[in-house]
Amino acid sequence: MSAGFTKRLGRELHELNTHPAVGIHVFQADEYRIWLIDIQVMDNNPIYAGKTFRLQFRFSNQYPIEAPEVQFVASRDRPIPIHPHIYSNGHICLDVLGTGWSPIQTVSSVSMSIQSMLAGNDRNERPRDDARYVATAPISPKQTRFVYHDDNV
């Protein structure tokens, strides 16, 4: 592991633990490879009211030059949110996780982008191609070449 990689993630983890954004909480970050972040939508969106969702961040040694792998993971009390850009396997179609990535992004800023994406949603539905995508999707969402064409949700 490169020193820059661990130093950057150490700073980000410290910031998340000492000054978390509202509705964003570090559930687990035992190492510099996989973090679990819980998020809540902090407005009156009836689709997500009272629910908490869990994001999994996987980091390569190339972080922050390379985007982390980010997806929702389900647990007993943490469902994968229903949203037109979130597949039922937890993969997220969001440009900041792919072609829109910049090294200035952080775990916190990505989490807030996803939180905002959920807050702005008014359609309680999965992507139109959910069944097909999930049946053929790679394990890593980073191996999918998403087409970003609908920024209305």
In angstroms, how far is CA 25 from the centroid of its own chain?
13
- For the sheet with 69-73, list strands across it: 24-28, 34-40, 52-58, 69-73
User: Is residue 93 annotated as a catalytic residue, yes or no?
Assistant: yes
- Is the Cα torsion angle 3, 16, 18, 73 positive or negative in sign? negative
Backbone conformation region of residue 23, classed left if phi is above 0, alpha if psi is from -120 to 50, else beta = left
Catalytic hit among 37, 92, 93, 96: 93
Helix (H) or strand (E) holding 40: strand 34-40
- Is the Cα torsion angle 8, 57, 64, 2 positive or negative in sign? positive
State the catalytic residues: 93
